[in-house]
Amino acid sequence: MGQFMLSFDYTRSICLNICDRFRCCAVHNSLRFDNAKFEQIFHKQNNNIYGLAVALLIISLWAASLTLLLCLNVANFSSWLLPIVIAWQTFLYTGLFITAHDAMHGSVFQQNKKINHFIGSLAVFFYAFFSYRQLLKKHWLHHHHPASELDPDHHDGNSSNPIYWYFHFMKNYWSWNQFLGMVIAFNLANYMLPIAQTNLILFWIVPSILSSVQLFYFGTFLPHREPEEGYIRPHCAQTIALPIFWSFISCYHFGYHQEHHEFPHVSWWQLPAVYKQKADVSKAPSREGSTSVSINDRQPI
C-alpha cells in the first residue's frame, strides 16, 4: 500500500505541476482562459464532497438496477423494452469505469486518498474484476505517452482499424485472472442463487461488453485516432464537440478529451464547464487579467 500511495502521489504531483504551468504561461495567438471562472471550477472541485456523492450515486444505481433486473422474468419484457433496459444497464456499467477513472486522477474524494482509492477499486472490481493498481499504472502511461508504442490504449502501429484496435486495446487490459473470476462468479450466481441464466447474460455479461465498446469508441478511438494532418495537437487528443446532453449520454463527457488531458484532475461532471469556458474565450477578445494557454505549444502530460 505504501508503494501504491507513493506512486499515486508522484503521478498526481506531476499532473498538478503541469496543470499549474499551463495556467500560468502566457503566449501569443492562444486561447485565453478567464482566471476567475477557472478558479471557481477548481475551488468547487477541491472543497466539497460532490465527487464522492456522484461516485456513490453511480455505484448505487448500478447495484440496484442489476439486482432488480436479475430478479425479473425476461419473458415479460416486450421486444422494444429489452434493448432499452440493456442500454440503460450498459450506461451504468460505463459509469462504473468513469468513476474509477476519476479516482485514478484523485478527483473522487481529494480530501482523503484512501477513500478515493477504495471507491476506485470498488468500481473496477464491480465492473469486471479489474485490478485498480494495474489500471492506474497503465492509465498514467497513457497520459505520459499518448499515441505512442508506450501507450497501452493505442493501436499496435500496424492497423488503426477500429475493430482491430479494439481487440488490441482489450488484450492490453484483460487478463486470465479476470476471466477466471468472471467464470466463477457467473457459475456461483447461476447454480447457487435463484437467477436465470438468461438474466445473467442479458443484464450482466452483455452490458459489460457493450460498455467496453462504448468506452473504447468515445474515449479512445475518436479522441486519439490520427487526423489527416497527423498528430499535431498536444496530448495527441481531440475533443468530440457534442452538445453537453449528448456528450453525457455518449460517454459521461469522456469525449471532451482534450480538456481532460489538459486538466486531468477535473471530474467528469465538471468537464462541460471547462469545455464551455474554452469555447467562450476562443470567441472573446483578449482582456487584461486573463491567463493565456497555448493549445499548440503544450507538451503532453
**268 within some domain:** yes
**203 within some domain:** yes
Residue 204 pLDDT: 97
CA-based nearest residue to 276, from 266, 289, 288: 266
Residue 148 pLDDT: 81
Rg over CA atoms, the chain: 20
122 phi and psi angles, rounded to 5 deg: -65, -45
**86 within some domain:** yes
Provide the Cα torsion 36, 38, 41, 47; round to 10°.
-70
Q: At what angle do helices 132-144 and 113-128 cross, to 10 degrees?
A: 100
**26 within some domain:** no
Separation of alpha carbons 93 and 95, rounded Å: 5
Tell me, rounded to whole angstroms, the distance of Cα 245 from its chain centroid: 17
For residue 33, list its beta bridge partners.
291
The cell numbers describing 260, all together, are 481532460
Number of separate domains in the chain: 1
Contact 254, 268 (CB under 8 A): yes
**292 within some domain:** no
Residue 261 pLDDT: 92
**65 within some domain:** no
Separation of alpha carbons 45 and 27, rounded Å: 27
Block means of pLDDT (10 residues each) for the chain, 301 residues, are 46 44 34 52 65 97 97 92 97 98 94 96 96 93 85 84 93 90 93 93 97 96 82 78 95 94 93 86 55 36 34
CA-based nearest residue to 107, from 14, 63, 44: 44
Task: Tell me the residue range of the domain where 216 lies.
Answer: 74-283
Compute how many other C-beta atoms are within 10 angstroms of the C-beta atom of residue 294: 15
Separation of alpha carbons 225 and 209, rounded Å: 22
**237 within some domain:** yes
**290 within some domain:** no
Residue 229 pLDDT: 73
